[in-house]
Amino acid sequence: MAEMVSSLGTRLQISDSELTTDLIKEAIVQVLDYTGQKKLIGNMDIYVKKLATINYNRMGIEGETQRTEGGITNYLEVGIPKDIRLGLNRYRIAKVTRL
């Protein structure tokens, strides 16, 4: 965890360890919820850092799906981006239901 916090702080060029710790914890919860795992395994920490970076960049625009400024419209992806989901799919636990 400390290594991920340090790495994220370096990547985002921020020195607020409370913020980076909070971003990492939030991203870990999102990754574990998506995969159904109880702890991080394999290379899931890479996706945690990617998701924490995205969560940092989304700060201040929570709830928006699009934003128009100066005649330019940007559409924002909701939830975990597709490239991260594709990487995490190998760690997902399948759930079986009765027919």
Structure tokens at 63: 């709830």
pLDDT given at position 67: 79
Which of 50, 55, 61 lies closest to 86 in space, CA to CA? Answer: 50
Judged against a pLDDT cut of 90, whether residue 24 lies above it is answered with yes
Summary mean pLDDT of the chain: 90
Q: Give me the mean pLDDT over the 23-43 stretch.
A: 96
Judged against a pLDDT cut of 80, whether residue 62 lies above it is answered with no
* Exposed e or buried b per residue across 29-56, where buried means at least 16 C-beta atoms within 10 angstroms of its C-beta: ebbbebbebeebeeebbebbbbbbebbb
Judged against a pLDDT cut of 90, whether residue 25 lies above it is answered with yes
The pTM is what?
0.83
